Structure 1
Amino acid sequence: MDPKTASNLSFILNKPHDVEFKSRDLPTLSDPHDVLVAINYTGICGSDVHYWTHGAIGHYVVKEPMVLGHESAGTIVEVGSAVTTLRPGDRVALEPGYPCRRCGPCLSGKYNLCPEMRFAATPPYHGTLTGFWVSPADFCYKLPESVTLQEGALVEPLAVAVHIVRQAVVTPGQSVVVMGAGPVGLLCAAVARAFGASTVVSVDIVESKLAFAKSFCSTHTYSSQRIPAPENASNIRALAPNLAGGADVVIDASGAEPSIQTSLHVVRTGGTYVQGGMGRDEITFPIMAMCLKEVTAKGSFRYGSGDYKLAVELVASGRVDVRKLISGVVDFEDAEQAFEKVKEGEVIKILIAGPNEKKE
């Protein structure tokens, strides 16, 4: 593809529910370690929809027009003079956040906590719903021939799940309960199975999501009831013999207060709890249950060193079949339809084809 003759049409958010398609200048390589990528497919997640509907997430506020999107795969069309690991034509999954590489978190190996992180579609930085994207070469992950570009677009949410499960230190034979059966929750359950967990329970309030979870990766499912958290926890522990004393690991991928409350009652004495879902800034949760059981509690934010590489390997090996999560693909000009479908809960994961992707 010749970027000089191709489109750099972009999907731009001006303010909540006010979007436009606009052709932007072709980005150029200013750093010899960068590459120019033609975007082939982009997935839509909850944070994209939140910006579209509210114009902000926490203290990240859209004050100027911003290109949306961050779950992308594309094709290298140009490389900087210092790049030796990639060449034009290579298909890559894009890690859409670039740290400063010099601060304490970066130097300690936790670059996802870098205070200077430049993350796609997070104000003030533009996202990947565009024709061409400039990226540091070391944040592009070459896709094996067996992995499609559509699968490559799902490496980003899979890397989120990999990071959560690695935070939980899931090991073979363990029991894992995942609260929430949205895309990240489903992928957490799938990664836990790939890590060797023998029992994986998906919990949600939507029966169709639970049915999909059972067919996709989970050994058990539970439809959360409007009952006190200890009762929901008791019902979950009754699902399998190795859950009787509580789960070895509980992951909350929902951010919902009732799920978090139930999680602390489900986890076993000495077990591990990881908060992956984001919800309200402040909630009420059973602190005594956490203390008396001496639970190891951790947060999880995006992804860090090795997570993207492992995510690509899990897809390439077939241990996580992300194709099953793809509900459909829409043309670039129909991008807002994808946002509508995600908002209404009509899809698991929908992809938007890049503006230069050939229509079938």
Structure 2
Amino acid sequence: MKSLVLEKKNELSLRDFPAIDREEDVLGPLDVRIKLHTVGICGSDIHYYTHGRIGHFVVNEPMILGHEASGTVIETGSGVQSLKVGDRVCMEPGIPDPNSKATRLGIYNVDPAVRFWATPPVHGILRPTCVHPEAFTFKLPDAVSFAEAAMVEPLAVGVHAATKARIKPGDIAVVMGAGPIGLVTVLSALAAGCARVFVSDLSDKKLEIAESLNPAITGVNAVTGDLFARVMKETDGWGADVVFEATGSPKAAAQIFQPLAPGGCVVMIGGQPDPISYDAGAAMVREARVENIFRYAHVFPRCVAMLASGAIDVKPLITRTFDFDESVRAFDVAASAPPADVKMQIVMPS
């Protein structure tokens, strides 16, 4: 079975990968086998492609990419009860140790032993089929397409961030960054009850996309505009109740407290590979609450439900689709970061 393989930094190939076939030959009693349909291209996939590593996760040998996925169940283990052959599903890509302390405490996403697709040495799912635990596989309602379902994984980040922020109805939020994670965070903040969301980015095109999602969204160019001044003007000098940092930029992170209201909350989403500047004094005088998120936990069913009901619409964020045989080109296009694109997806062979 052909897979999209990151051979090494800056080198991708579509080829047979016998090792993964052998690894997933046996189906456990609580597992399902899934035929993949749609796989999203994530920023982490691109970073592994262009840099060969993310922090201490290093690609030392060929690795299959991809972790945002939807598909169809084609086989079930003997003990599976909630799924059957033919069910359309999406999959949570991080599998923790069920007996770890983190899992028992309900924070399984920070389990040090978690096995996460396309994170070395664990292979991803840009391949025809995969085996996955029933407990981390979620049936899709008829109203949710395969493309939308492959957006559940990034959407889960935004929903987890909004949950951590403890948003109240009528809150004002700022989201720094209008990439895929920034925009799903914008949508999540509105769904959680925010009255308005200001979003900043370097790309005017991405800000146009953001503002097209909802009239409650206001875009501010991070270079030509003044986010702090705009937020203060629109809030009578009080500031935003919540600030989400979704750029991963040290420069942006250094400014997180500027637009924050007294007693407000900052949620750090964007990954920072190195230590960053942190204005403890600005945080202190606001008595700010600072939250950090690492992926997500317990939110996939919520995301599926919101897509099904229309509470969140991710379709405008899917800006380009490629066939599986175009995967290498798809990654090259994604790595060039076209300003008019948000989420690119790959459709697997039927």
TM bucket (normalised to shorter chain) is over 0.9
Q: Corresponding residue for 2:273?
A: 280
Matched residues in 1 for 2:284 and 2:98: separation? 36
Contact 1:232 1:262 in 2 (8 A): no
Which ranges in structure 1 are unaligned for 5 or more consecutive residues?
1-7
Q: Corresponding residue for 2:219?
A: 221
Q: Does residue 233 of structure 2 align to residue 235 of structure 1?
A: no
Q: Does residue 120 of structure 2 align to residue 123 of structure 1?
A: yes
Q: Corresponding residue for 2:95?
A: 98
Taking the TM superposition and a 5 Å limit, the aligned residue runs for 1:160-309 are 160-217=157-214, 218-225=216-223, 232-238=227-233, 240-241=234-235, 244-305=237-298, 307-309=299-301
Instruction: Letter of the 1:298 partner, please give it.
Output: E
Q: Corresponding residue for 1:112?
A: 109
> Cα RMSD over matched residues?
1.4
Out of 10, 29, 32, which is 1:32 matched to? 29
Matched residues in 1 for 2:147 and 2:217: separation? 27
Matched residues in 1 for 2:247 and 2:41: separation? 17
Q: Corresponding residue for 1:22?
A: 15
Q: Secondary structure at the match of 1:93?
A: strand
Q: Corresponding residue for 1:5?
A: none
Q: Deviations over 1:305-327 (max 9, x none)?
A: 2x111111111111111111111
Q: Corresponding residue for 1:318?
A: 310
Matched residues in 2 for 1:108 and 1:21: separation? 40
Contact 2:27 2:33 in 1 (8 A): no
By how many angstroms is 1:232 displaced? Answer: 4.2
Instruction: Letter of the 1:350 partner, please give it.
Output: M
Q: Deviations over 1:152-197 (max 9, x none)?
A: 1111000111111111111211001100000110011111111111
By how many angstroms is 1:226 displaced? Answer: 7.1
Contact 2:13 2:328 in 1 (8 A): no
Out of 317, 322, 337, which is 1:345 matched to? 337
Q: Does residue 69 of structure 2 align to residue 42 of structure 1?
A: no
Contact 2:31 2:80 in 1 (8 A): yes
By how many angstroms is 1:29 displaced? Answer: 3.3
Q: Deviations over 1:16-46 (max 9, x none)?
A: 1212212234432342001100000100011
Which ranges in structure 2 are unaligned for 5 or more consecutive residues?
none
Count residues with an aligned counterpart: 343
Instruction: Letter of the 2:11 partner, please give it.
Output: D
Q: 1:212 to 1:222 in 2, by over 3 A?
A: same
Contact 2:29 2:79 in 1 (8 A): yes
Q: Deviations over 1:285-310 (max 9, x none)?
A: 322100111100010110102x1111
Q: Deviations over 1:43-70 (max 9, x none)?
A: 0011000001111101100111100000
Matched residues in 1 for 2:334 and 2:64: separation? 18
Matched residues in 2 for 1:18 and 1:232: separation? 39
Q: Does residue 136 of structure 2 align to residue 139 of structure 1?
A: yes
By how many angstroms is 1:234 displaced? Answer: 2.8
Q: Secondary structure at the match of 1:254?
A: coil
Out of 322, 327, 335, which is 1:330 matched to? 322
Matched residues in 1 for 2:39 and 2:27: separation? 24
Q: Which runs of 4+ in 1 moved over 6 A?
A: none
Contact 2:232 2:239 in 1 (8 A): yes
By how many angstroms is 1:328 displaced? Answer: 1.9
By how many angstroms is 1:341 displaced? Answer: 1.9
The percentage of aligned residue pairs carrying the same residue is 37
TM-score, L = length of structure 2: 0.95
Matched residues in 1 for 2:318 and 2:223: separation? 28
Contact 2:240 2:264 in 1 (8 A): yes
Matched residues in 1 for 2:287 and 2:315: separation? 39
Q: Secondary structure at the match of 1:337?
A: helix
